[in-house]
Amino acid sequence: MDALIKTFFDKKVGDFLKVDQGNLRVDPSSGQFQLKKASIDGSAFDGLHLPVALRGGFIDELSVNLHLDVFNPGGSVSLQILIRNVFFVFGPHTTDWSWAHVKQCKSKLVDLIMQIAELKPSKKAKKSHEDSASGWLSDIQTRIKQDLMKKVAEMIEVNIANFHIRFEASKRSQKL
């Protein structure tokens, strides 16, 4: 099971995050996800033609614990996220401003955006106008959705410890 989860993880985010198999634990039955000692691969972000470039970094620990107790009377739902010791290194983007290099950088940026878009599930086709609720029924559905989203937002707990960002100077400015 662990090898299957690691393969799935590498397929989805392996271009950005590098994690050893022993440092990734997923237990769907208990709602736990834990990632330890993950390195952020800066090469995936090279040449994106942005003002700054992510050179690399690491995440010491990322834990997600989803507790669902909805089947018992008075049951609760909670989501806890713990992020510990995150370190990012940014540096300047360098280019020769030639047409070919700018085109190459922008193409890589579009490719990265498309790759991130593939991580999201596709949206379902909207129902036709005849099938959708209208009037007061639509208002009730909207209120229920808003109340549900508010309750979900209230149950999320995020704890971030030791978040570091370092900026590297360009080689040209270091010589001055």
Q: Quick: pLDDT tens for 129-152.
A: 444 556 788 888 888 888 877 777
Alpha helices in 18-160 (DSSP H): 99-119, 136-155
Residue ranges of the domains in the chain? 2-118+155-170
CB atoms within 10 A of CB 149: 10
Contact 108, 102 (CB under 8 A): no
**pLDDT, tens only, 66-122:** 877 766 676 677 788 888 998 988 888 778 888 998 898 888 888 888 877 877 666
**DSSP H stretches of helix in the chain:** 2-13, 99-119, 136-155, 171-175
CA nearest 30: which of 3, 67, 5? Answer: 67
Rg (CA), the chain: 22
- Give the global pTM: 0.61
- With left for phi above 0 and alpha for psi between -120 and 50, is residue 118 left, alpha or beta? alpha
Q: What are the tens digits of pLDDT across the range 18-63?
A: 988 888 888 887 888 899 999 998 888 887 778 888 888 999 999 9
